Amino acid sequence: MELGATVCTPKSPKCTLCPIRAHCLAHAAGTETAYPVRTPRREKRVEEKTVLLLRCGEKLALCRRTEKGVLHGLWQLPDLPGKLSPVQALEAAAAWGARPTELRRESRRTHTFTHIRWEMVCYHIDCGATPDRFTWVERAQLQRDYALPTAFRMFLEES
Protein backbone atom coordinates (compact mmCIF):
# COMPACT_ATOMS: atom_id res chain seq x y z
CA MET A 1 0.00 0.00 0.00
CA GLU A 2 2.82 2.38 0.75
CA LEU A 3 4.26 1.80 -2.72
CA GLY A 4 0.94 2.82 -4.31
CA ALA A 5 0.61 5.85 -2.06
CA THR A 6 4.12 7.22 -2.52
CA VAL A 7 5.64 5.85 -5.76
CA CYS A 8 3.01 4.40 -8.06
CA THR A 9 0.59 7.33 -7.95
CA PRO A 10 -2.10 7.73 -10.64
CA LYS A 11 -1.19 11.27 -11.76
CA SER A 12 2.60 11.24 -11.58
CA PRO A 13 4.12 7.80 -11.08
CA LYS A 14 7.79 7.78 -10.05
CA CYS A 15 8.82 4.76 -12.09
CA THR A 16 12.55 5.47 -11.72
CA LEU A 17 12.20 4.93 -7.95
CA CYS A 18 10.01 1.83 -8.20
CA PRO A 19 11.61 -1.41 -6.95
CA ILE A 20 9.36 -3.59 -9.15
CA ARG A 21 9.39 -1.62 -12.42
CA ALA A 22 11.12 -4.51 -14.18
CA HIS A 23 7.98 -6.61 -13.61
CA CYS A 24 5.45 -3.84 -14.27
CA LEU A 25 3.35 -4.40 -17.40
CA ALA A 26 2.06 -0.81 -17.37
CA HIS A 27 5.64 0.54 -17.35
CA ALA A 28 6.64 -1.83 -20.15
CA ALA A 29 3.70 -0.66 -22.25
CA GLY A 30 4.17 3.02 -21.33
CA THR A 31 0.65 3.25 -19.89
CA GLU A 32 1.49 3.99 -16.25
CA THR A 33 -0.84 7.01 -16.02
CA ALA A 34 -3.84 4.96 -17.28
CA TYR A 35 -4.03 3.10 -13.95
CA PRO A 36 -5.85 2.66 -11.71
CA VAL A 37 -8.97 2.62 -13.85
CA ARG A 38 -11.61 4.66 -12.08
CA THR A 39 -15.22 3.68 -12.39
CA PRO A 40 -17.48 6.57 -13.37
CA ARG A 41 -19.54 8.11 -10.60
CA ARG A 42 -23.08 6.91 -10.35
CA GLU A 43 -25.82 9.46 -10.94
CA LYS A 44 -27.37 10.73 -7.73
CA ARG A 45 -30.96 9.70 -7.09
CA VAL A 46 -33.26 12.74 -7.23
CA GLU A 47 -36.07 13.08 -4.69
CA GLU A 48 -38.64 15.85 -4.81
CA LYS A 49 -39.82 17.20 -1.44
CA THR A 50 -42.27 19.80 -0.26
CA VAL A 51 -41.25 21.58 2.94
CA LEU A 52 -43.74 23.56 4.99
CA LEU A 53 -42.44 26.39 7.12
CA LEU A 54 -45.45 26.74 9.41
CA ARG A 55 -45.53 29.86 11.58
CA CYS A 56 -48.07 30.61 14.28
CA GLY A 57 -47.30 33.98 15.84
CA GLU A 58 -43.61 33.84 16.76
CA LYS A 59 -43.46 30.03 16.82
CA LEU A 60 -42.33 27.64 14.09
CA ALA A 61 -43.35 24.00 13.67
CA LEU A 62 -40.70 21.29 14.01
CA CYS A 63 -40.89 17.52 13.97
CA ARG A 64 -38.44 14.62 14.12
CA ARG A 65 -37.49 12.64 11.06
CA THR A 66 -38.36 8.96 11.08
CA GLU A 67 -35.91 6.43 12.42
CA LYS A 68 -35.05 5.25 8.88
CA GLY A 69 -33.43 6.94 5.92
CA VAL A 70 -31.37 10.09 5.44
CA LEU A 71 -31.01 12.31 8.52
CA HIS A 72 -33.00 9.81 10.60
CA GLY A 73 -33.98 10.98 14.06
CA LEU A 74 -33.00 14.63 13.51
CA TRP A 75 -35.28 17.66 13.87
CA GLN A 76 -36.70 19.16 10.70
CA LEU A 77 -39.37 21.39 9.26
CA PRO A 78 -42.46 19.35 8.30
CA ASP A 79 -42.11 17.89 4.82
CA LEU A 80 -44.01 15.75 2.37
CA PRO A 81 -42.77 13.60 -0.49
CA GLY A 82 -43.22 14.96 -3.99
CA LYS A 83 -43.68 18.44 -5.37
CA LEU A 84 -46.99 19.84 -4.12
CA SER A 85 -48.76 22.87 -5.51
CA PRO A 86 -49.50 25.83 -3.22
CA VAL A 87 -53.13 24.68 -2.89
CA GLN A 88 -52.04 21.14 -1.96
CA ALA A 89 -49.59 22.54 0.63
CA LEU A 90 -52.37 24.61 2.24
CA GLU A 91 -54.64 21.55 2.25
CA ALA A 92 -51.92 19.49 3.96
CA ALA A 93 -51.44 22.15 6.64
CA ALA A 94 -55.21 22.25 7.17
CA ALA A 95 -55.40 18.46 7.40
CA TRP A 96 -52.76 18.58 10.14
CA GLY A 97 -54.94 21.03 12.08
CA ALA A 98 -52.70 24.11 11.64
CA ARG A 99 -55.55 26.27 10.22
CA PRO A 100 -53.50 28.07 7.53
CA THR A 101 -54.33 31.76 7.20
CA GLU A 102 -51.86 32.98 4.57
CA LEU A 103 -49.33 31.58 2.12
CA ARG A 104 -46.61 34.22 2.45
CA ARG A 105 -44.11 32.95 -0.09
CA GLU A 106 -42.63 30.05 -1.97
CA SER A 107 -38.94 29.25 -2.33
CA ARG A 108 -36.94 26.50 -3.99
CA ARG A 109 -33.64 24.95 -3.03
CA THR A 110 -31.54 21.93 -3.89
CA HIS A 111 -29.56 20.00 -1.30
CA THR A 112 -27.07 17.33 -2.34
CA PHE A 113 -25.99 14.38 -0.24
CA THR A 114 -23.41 11.80 -1.34
CA HIS A 115 -25.97 9.66 -3.19
CA ILE A 116 -29.21 11.69 -3.21
CA ARG A 117 -30.20 15.12 -4.46
CA TRP A 118 -33.26 16.71 -2.87
CA GLU A 119 -35.17 19.13 -5.11
CA MET A 120 -37.24 21.06 -2.58
CA VAL A 121 -40.02 23.59 -2.70
CA CYS A 122 -40.87 25.35 0.56
CA TYR A 123 -44.11 27.13 1.35
CA HIS A 124 -43.98 29.73 4.12
CA ILE A 125 -47.42 29.55 5.71
CA ASP A 126 -48.93 31.58 8.55
CA CYS A 127 -51.22 29.47 10.74
CA GLY A 128 -53.96 30.08 13.28
CA ALA A 129 -53.39 26.97 15.41
CA THR A 130 -50.54 24.90 16.87
CA PRO A 131 -51.50 21.22 16.53
CA ASP A 132 -49.82 18.82 18.96
CA ARG A 133 -48.35 16.72 16.16
CA PHE A 134 -45.54 19.33 15.95
CA THR A 135 -43.16 20.90 18.44
CA TRP A 136 -43.66 24.68 18.28
CA VAL A 137 -40.61 26.79 19.12
CA GLU A 138 -39.57 30.41 18.89
CA ARG A 139 -36.62 31.25 16.64
CA ALA A 140 -34.26 31.99 19.57
CA GLN A 141 -35.11 28.64 21.15
CA LEU A 142 -34.67 26.92 17.80
CA GLN A 143 -31.17 28.32 17.37
CA ARG A 144 -30.23 27.55 20.97
CA ASP A 145 -31.78 24.12 21.55
CA TYR A 146 -32.36 22.40 18.19
CA ALA A 147 -29.83 21.30 15.61
CA LEU A 148 -31.58 21.63 12.27
CA PRO A 149 -29.89 20.03 9.24
CA THR A 150 -28.70 22.43 6.54
CA ALA A 151 -31.28 21.06 4.10
CA PHE A 152 -33.99 22.66 6.27
CA ARG A 153 -32.04 25.47 7.93
CA MET A 154 -31.55 27.25 4.60
CA PHE A 155 -35.30 27.93 4.45
CA LEU A 156 -35.21 29.58 7.88
CA GLU A 157 -32.41 31.88 6.81
CA GLU A 158 -34.56 33.39 4.07
CA SER A 159 -37.73 33.83 6.13
Is residue 159 scored above 70 in pLDDT?
no
- pLDDT class of 17 with cuts at 50, 70, 90: confident
| CA separation, residue 99 to residues 55, 74, 103, 127, 156 (Å) | 11, 26, 12, 5, 21
| Range(s) of the chain covered by CATH 3.90.79.10 | 45-157
Question: How large a percentage of the chain has pLDDT more than 70?
Answer: 99
Length of the chain, in residues: 159
Q: What's the pLDDT tens digit per position in 34-52?
A: 887 778 878 889 999 999 9
Segment 87-126, tens digit of pLDDT:
999 999 999 999 999 999 999 999 999 899 999 999 999 9
What's the chain's Rg over C-alpha atoms? 25
Q: How confident is the model at residue 142 (pLDDT cuts 50, 70, 90)?
A: very high
What is the reported pLDDT for 72?
85
pLDDT at 157: 80
Average pLDDT, the chain: 91
Beta strands in the chain (DSSP E): 45-56, 59-64, 75-76, 79-81, 100-112, 116-127, 135-138
Inter-residue contact 32 to 13 (CB < 8 Å): yes
The pTM (predicted TM-score) of the whole model is 0.75
Q: Which residue has the higher pLDDT, 88 or 70?
A: 88
What homologous superfamily is domain 45-157 in, according to CATH?
Nucleoside Triphosphate Pyrophosphohydrolase (3.90.79.10)
Q: What distance in Å separates the CA atoms of residue 76 and residue 92, rounded to the nearest whole number?
A: 17
Could you give the CA distance from residue 110 to residue 119 in angstroms, rounded to a whole number? Answer: 5
| First and final C-alpha spacing in the chain | 51
* Cβ-count burial 109-123 (b if 16+ within 10 Å, e if not): bebeeeeeebebbbb
Q: Are 122 and 156 in contact (CB under 8 A)?
A: no
Query: Which pLDDT tens digit goes with each residue over 144-155?
Result: 999 899 999 999
